[in-house]
Amino acid sequence: MTTIFKHVFPTLRFYWKSHVLVILGVAISTMVLTGTLTVGDSIESSLEKATFLRLGKTDFVFSGVDRYFRASLADELKQKSGLNSTPLLQLRGIGSTQGGTYQLNNIQIIGIDSSFTTSIPSFTKSLFFNENEVFISENVAQRLQLKIGDPITLRIEKANQIPKNAPFISEGDQYVSMRLQVGQIFGPEELGRFNLKISQTAPYNVFIPLSILNSKMGFDNKANHILFAIDNDKNEKTLLENIQKHWTLEDMSLEIHDIDDNQGIEIRSDRVFIDETIVQAIKQVDPEAHEILTYLVNSLRAGNKETPYSFVSAGPFMKTNRDISSDDMIINQWVAEDLQVSVGDSLEISYYIIGPLRRLSEESEWFKITDIVPIEGIYAQRSLMPQIPGLSDAGNCRDWRTGVPVDLNRIRDKDEDYWNDYRGTPKAFISYSNGKELWKNRFGKCTAVRLSSAHLTRDELERRLLGSITPTSLGFSLKSVKNDGLVAARGGIDFSQLFMGLSFFLLIAGLILMALLFNLHLEKRKVEIGTLKALGYSYGLIRRIFLFEVVFLAIPGVILGGWLAMFYNKMIFNALNTVWNDIVRTNVLQEDTRIGTLLLGMGIAFFIVLMTMWLNVTKKLSLSAKGLQKEEYVVSNRKSNVLKYGSLVSGLIVVLLLVYEIFVGDTLNSGMFFLAGGLFLLTFILFASYWIRHRSQGQHDKFSFQSLLQRNLFINQARSLRIIILFSLGTFVVISTGLNRKDLYSGAKLPSSGTGGFLFYAETTLPVLQDLNSPKNIADLGMDTSIGFVQLRVHDGDDASCLNLNRVSTPRILGIPSDKLKGRFSFVKIDPDIDPNNPWNALKTKLNQNIIPAFADQTVIQWGLGKKVGDTLTYQDEFGEKLRLKIIGGLENSIFQGNILVDENLFLDHFPSNSGTNVLLIDGPFDNMEETAGVLSRVFRNEGLEMEHTADRLNTFNQVENTYLTIFLLLGGFALIMGTFGLGIVIIRNIIDRVQEIGILEAIGFQKKDILKLITLEHGVLLVIGTVFGTIAAFLAITPSLISEFISASWKTAIIIVGVILLNGFFWIILITRRILRQELFHNLRTE
Amino acid sequence: MLLKLIDIHKAYPSVQSDNIRHVLNGVSLDIESGESIAILGPSGSGKSTLLNIIGTLDKSDSGEIIFDGNKLENYSEKQLSRFRNQHVGFVFQSHHLLPQCSVIENVLVPTLPLKDPKLKKDCHSRALELIGAVGLVEQKDNLPGTLSGGECQRVAVIRALINKPKLLLADEPTGSLDRQNALTIISLLKQLNTEYNTSLILVTHSHEIGSGMEKKYELKDGQLIQI
């Protein structure tokens, strides 16, 4: 050990300049490696922080989609079950100020009560609302130019127990307006970021007293969410059991009524149509229970006589309490007189079938009159008419608001009299089976269920129904939001991996540079190693001496690199929060360097660095003492075959990949091409290694300037190779990223592009309930016929686009009319069974009872969801059943990014209550965009239309990709700088090593310009080889982009990049060489 | 008269003091074609400086060098390079062979700057002839690393002669060799001097080595004195 110490310390001191360079090389490699690892830590911790900011101490959320329950349920859960809970009524709204000068759509209007702060204690701000006060988040204040005390007008979606598009529901009163005053403005640390969706971006929040919001909705203290902040020992099952314990029929929107004349009990729903789940549950309680379906028909007609707008009930209305036979009808005396018909006559009824988006079709059906009954007993029950707002509460027929067209001219005085006398008492009765066939719809098949009171009491019925119908079976859900949020944060985009990928070439360049520097240093020490060997130092002792020295070089390098990693991390975070904000969309990111990760990174770097240096030492030690001392030129033959066959195999794989992609595969896979490009680079590097060895061994028949150049090129194979590798890697990265930037404006009009050829993509805060393509609606709304719409339904979920850093599991579902997308968009991958000519058609076929096909952007499938085509996503549908969406195809980057697409009809099968559409794809003239935008903004102002040009939307997503490419480009640029630095070092070292050779050339008559030319060419060839092959590999890697009409890969850019690389390289070569040659090198020929 | 040096002066700043050290202090010398001379003197006496000035690698502070009737001071850098290439051959203490080139390639390196095809013609056969003359035919394709020190120096000598120079400048050519090899090299130089009628200026500190030359000079206090 003494010998080692005696040797090492003077050596470290003597070669301090070289050692400083090596330590810097080590530090750069450590910085890149450790820095990338710690970036991931910081992102993860920032996302976790964002989860706490948006949820406070909320652990679970119980929610209903378009269903409302008693807000007092939360209080009962707190008082009786000791569960820390608070109710929320959360709706969507639009805010405006200064008479509409500023408008903000898609605001979360959150109705809260005083329990909010006590239940969610991490929110410490006082929530005492003064009269007419709302609290708003900072971003709302910013967007609407608001300060405390300012007025704000809110248009809030009208919450209703009845689905908005249920038959006969009027589309009026979609929203309620409120003029309020800003009481407090909440920052991100307070309630400002409150959000039940998994996202790092801040939503627009307005908090309002629950009671006020309820009164505006016409509710009696309702809520649609309960937040739970609970102990760890409570799980979802316990919570659901407790909810079920306090659950009432009112929470299910059910009412039990006694039927007139003591004829039993009837169950009705506030939602008009009764969920099939409930019907089945009732039938389990009483198998003899029977459904009734009462429907408004347009006319009862016989001959030329007509009774307009009457209710017809379907059910067991025979006097014997049996069902009426098919095609038979019982009418009341009033109708018989009105139509002058008698038993045995035929009667035609006409009625509207109300399809999706209120598309109406008028149908008719003939019945045979089997009985004419007086308006009494079971035929005189007003309650058979469902409670439909706008109808059942209308004073007279002319006040009806039905949601279907009513021709008031057809209403006669006698009809008004009937309404006054009997209200909506049905005038005709048909069998339930017949009525169900005619009028069943996605909201239900009956408007009431009747039971005989002889079987059970109301209380018993209620008890048994509450025992058998679970909240989840009606579409209510309990989500472990905190846990899901943290899992999403931890499973989100792995920035460590991402930046490791982005920095990979930089890391390799750093290691090559470090190895280069160390190797150059070792070369200085060759004679010393030889001398030690000659002096009888054992191989082991010399190894230990160098190992010790290497450790002494690596430790400060790694420590310095660790320190620089924190700086690197900080720089990246500064960039992410500013210039690279596109990819994170939040400002809550903070660097959080975990000491464990830092040490891990430094440890890995130490190991890699040690191994790299050690390999170099071992290689040098393997030379003979004589060889080391003579500094002879050694030609290495070792591994020549490995290089040759390695390059052949690698090249063969490249060819196979290309053949497969071009001739066999359906579409050009960008990933495979990038792999092919990378492998080509590897092939080239292996071949270059082989070629350098091979060429350096050859003989020249005629010795020329070129022969000398070639000899010089390979004086030091390792050095030459490293320069080639550094430049080929750097060029590969810079070209492949620089040219792969997407510019979608060019192909935006094409239907096959990511815009689908649509002009605008729009989302509305409030749903659009009607079919916008119907000529009547177009005319009513004052739109041009050149504007076309594809309307999409939305089932809320998390954003799975690249704008969300979390890994979500249930992205937003869009229900699309598949037929309308034929020939639009392009697919990267589709299931082999799908017709490639019209993949959209495949969405229409249900795969299994609860499995439906779905499409999503391939990038969403791969990166946002961590899935692949063929995988499934699991949701809970409106019936509480598991709904599996099987991904059968991946779209090319599109405006749908972040969503999962299913067919509208299958969507409605599982989410029947869904009313209206919130996403619009708008066709229109591209040359008249601004005018069209103006018209649409005016038409949909009340719905809170957020509209953007489809190409802009696509570019928002592609901006993320482009930002990643910018980072890649930047880091590739750093790799090139390292390459240039390495080149400079190699030139200096080569010239210093060959100073005598240059001197002798001068002595034998070479002019300085010849020597300059020789040296410039020697290094220039390495530069050119590296750059050219890096460029070829890059072009191969981005072939799909080059031939894509949506990517503006510019040859000019490529030429500029290559030109800059070459010019920069040659500039340094010439500068350094000239400076050195300016000295009188012949002095080095002296031996005195 | 092949070469005439007239009153050559050369001074360097002294390393130890601010003074100037006059290395060459009015050196004059005449050399005829085919003549061989030895310049003796201890280390640091300025022998190599004088040789470099003769070979135009270095410049004198004053004085004239007339080669074949031409004043070299008037030559441009380009002409000087051509002069060195075509009229002067250098042999140094170290062989300074290019390690990446074979023996024959090393010998041919001085032919690379030749522009005149006539001059380039027969270079290869001449190189082979010279290699044969020094007994290294077997090793002509070997790299210098595989040769002994004496063999390398022999290659360096014939490299200096490949362009048929009129003047051969040898700076301690045997300094790195053992006595046997040293004598062989001197004998070779003399032989080539005679065979090719090349004037030879040999710088050495060894009287034994210098004694083989026709004339001997000693460089002392910057002055060249014939001994």
Query: pLDDT at position A335, please?
Result: 94
Give which of A628, A634, A1000, A1015 to mutate to test B binding, by max B Cβ within 10 Å: A1000
Average pLDDT over every residue of A725-733: 82
Contact status, residue A168 vs residue A402, Cβ threshold 8 Å:
yes
Predicted model pTM: 0.70
Residue A295: is its pLDDT beyond 70?
Answer: yes
Query: pLDDT at position A631, please?
Result: 47
Residue A126: is its pLDDT beyond 80?
Answer: no
CA A495/CA A493 separation, integer angstroms: 6
Give which of A1004, A1006, A1017, A1078 to mutate to test B binding, by max B Cβ within 10 Å: A1004
Average pLDDT over every residue of A282-304: 92
CB-CB neighbors (< 8 A) of A1004 in chain B = 84-85, 89-90, 109-110, 113, 159-160
Instruction: Write out pLDDT tens, residues A818-852.
Output: 999 999 999 988 888 888 888 999 999 888 878 99
A275 versus A523: which is more confidently predicted? A275
CATH 3.40.50.2300 fits B34-59+84-226, yes or no: no
Contact status, residue A769 vs residue A451, Cβ threshold 8 Å:
no
B150 versus A737: which is more confidently predicted? B150
CA A313/CA A374 separation, integer angstroms: 15
CA B90/CA B200 separation, integer angstroms: 10
CA A969/CA A505 separation, integer angstroms: 10
The helix (run of H) or strand (run of E) holding residue A566 is helix A539-577
Question: Which of A222-226, A335-339, A1054-1058, B150-154 is predicted least confidently?
Answer: A1054-1058
Dihedral angle computed from the Cα positions of residues A1024, A1027, A1029 and A1032, in that order, rounded to the nearest 10 degrees = -130
CB-CB neighbors (< 8 A) of B96 in chain A = 996-997, 999-1000, 1085
Residue A262: is its pLDDT beyond 80?
Answer: no
Residue A426 three-state SS: coil
Tokens for A183, please give them. 């009481």
Average pLDDT over every residue of A36-63: 86
Question: Which of A331-340, A641-650, B112-121 is predicted least confidently?
Answer: B112-121
Residue A993: is its pLDDT beyond 80?
Answer: no
Among A317, A240, A273, smallest CA distance to A165 is for A273
Q: What is the DSSP letter of A638?
A: T
Q: What is the DSSP letter of A444?
A: B
Average pLDDT, chain A: 84
Taking an 8 Å cut-off on Cβ atoms, the answer to whether A703 and B58 are in contact is no
Give which of B101, B104, B162, B204 to mutate to test A binding, by max A Cβ within 10 Å: B101
CA A34/CA A1049 separation, integer angstroms: 34
Average pLDDT over every residue of A782-810: 86
Residue A152: is its pLDDT beyond 60?
Answer: yes
CB-CB neighbors (< 8 A) of A1006 in chain B = 81, 85, 112-113
Query: pLDDT at position A633, please?
Result: 47
Contact status, residue A27 vs residue A34, Cβ threshold 8 Å:
no
Pairing of strands A882-891, A872-876: antiparallel
Average pLDDT over every residue of B92-118: 84
How does residue A742 score in pLDDT terms, banded at 50, 70 and 90?
A: low
Q: What is the DSSP letter of A159?
A: -
Instruction: Write out pLDDT tens, residues A423-444.
Output: 999 999 999 999 999 999 888 9
Among A584, A561, A562, smallest CA distance to A573 is for A584
Taking an 8 Å cut-off on Cβ atoms, the answer to whether B176 and A633 are in contact is no
A213 versus A198: which is more confidently predicted? A213
Q: Kindly report the nearest CA distance between residue B100 and chain A, in angstroms.
A: 6
Taking an 8 Å cut-off on Cβ atoms, the answer to whether B113 and A1010 are in contact is yes
Contact status, residue A116 vs residue A903, Cβ threshold 8 Å:
no
Tokens for A370, please give them. 């089997």
Query: pLDDT at position A699, please?
Result: 58
How does residue A151 score in pLDDT terms, banded at 50, 70 and 90?
A: very high
Q: Domain limits of chain B?
A: 34-59+84-226
CA A955/CA A894 separation, integer angstroms: 10
From B94, B112, B141, residue closest to A705, measured CB to CB: B112
Interface check for A775 against chain B (CB to CB < 8 A): the answer is no
CB-CB neighbors (< 8 A) of B100 in chain A = 633, 696, 711-712, 714-715
Contact status, residue A124 vs residue A184, Cβ threshold 8 Å:
no
The helix (run of H) or strand (run of E) holding residue A535 is none
Question: Which of A62-71, A411-420, B2-11, B119-128 is predicted least confidently?
Answer: B119-128
Query: pLDDT at position A658, please?
Result: 82
Residue A850 CB coordination number (10 Å):
17
Among A429, A424, A425, A427, smallest CA distance to A330 is for A429
Query: pLDDT at position A818, please?
Result: 92
Query: pLDDT at position A155, please?
Result: 92
CB-CB neighbors (< 8 A) of A1007 in chain B = 77-78, 81, 113
* Chain B, nearest residue to A700 by Cα: B105
DSSP-assigned beta bridge partners for residue A254: A269
* Chain A, nearest residue to B104 by Cα: A703
B178 versus A465: which is more confidently predicted? A465
How does residue A322 score in pLDDT terms, banded at 50, 70 and 90?
A: low
From A633, A707, A1087, residue closest to B99, measured CB to CB: A633
A 989-1018: CB under 8 A from B:
996-997, 999-1008, 1010
Average pLDDT over every residue of A871-896: 91
**What is A594-630 written as a DSSP string?**
-HHHHHHHHHHHHHHHHHHHHHHHHHHHTS-HHHHHH
Close Cβ partners of A420 (under 8 Å, ≥ 6 residues apart)? A396
Average pLDDT over every residue of A625-653: 66
CA A334/CA A426 separation, integer angstroms: 11
Tokens for A611, please give them. 């191994």
Average pLDDT over every residue of A933-948: 86
Give which of B50, B52, B98, B205 to mutate to test A binding, by max A Cβ within 10 Å: B98
CB-CB neighbors (< 8 A) of A703 in chain B = 101, 104-105, 108-109, 111-112, 124
Taking an 8 Å cut-off on Cβ atoms, the answer to whether A1005 and B85 are in contact is yes
Query: pLDDT at position A638, please?
Result: 53
Query: pLDDT at position A821, please?
Result: 92
Distance of CA A413 to the CA centre of its chain: 59
Of all residues in chain A, what percent carry a pLDDT higher than 70? 91
Q: Kindly report the nearest CA distance between residue B226 and chain A, in angstroms.
A: 23
Taking an 8 Å cut-off on Cβ atoms, the answer to whether A999 and B175 are in contact is no
How does residue A1088 score in pLDDT terms, banded at 50, 70 and 90?
A: very low
How does residue B219 score in pLDDT terms, banded at 50, 70 and 90?
A: confident
Query: pLDDT at position A186, please?
Result: 87
Taking an 8 Å cut-off on Cβ atoms, the answer to whether B113 and A1008 are in contact is no
Query: pLDDT at position A632, please?
Result: 47
Close Cβ partners of A330 (under 8 Å, ≥ 6 residues apart)? A317, A318, A324, A369, A370, A371, A372, A373, A379, A428, A429, A430
Residue given tokens 């306090």 in the structure block: A246
Residue A531: is its pLDDT beyond 80?
Answer: no
Residue A615 to residues A129, A545, A612, A692, A839, Cα–Cα distance (Å): 72, 15, 5, 20, 55
Taking an 8 Å cut-off on Cβ atoms, the answer to whether A1085 and B112 are in contact is no
Residue A627: is its pLDDT beyond 60?
Answer: no
CA dihedral for B159, B164, B169, B173, sign (positive or negative): positive
Average pLDDT, chain B: 85
Residue B11 CB coordination number (10 Å):
16
Q: Would you report the helix, strand and coil content of chain A in percent, each value rounded to 5? A: 50, 20, 30
Among A887, A873, A883, A886, smallest CA distance to A909 is for A883
Secondary structure (H, E, C), A718-763? HHHHHHHHHHHHHHHHHHHHHCCCCCCCCCCCCCCCCCCCCCEEEE
CA A216/CA A223 separation, integer angstroms: 13
Instruction: Write out pLDDT tens, residues A566-577.
Output: 888 888 888 888
CA A967/CA A741 separation, integer angstroms: 12
Interface check for A1078 against chain B (CB to CB < 8 A): the answer is no
How does residue B208 score in pLDDT terms, banded at 50, 70 and 90?
A: confident
CB-CB neighbors (< 8 A) of B175 in chain A = 1087
Taking an 8 Å cut-off on Cβ atoms, the answer to whether B159 and A996 are in contact is no
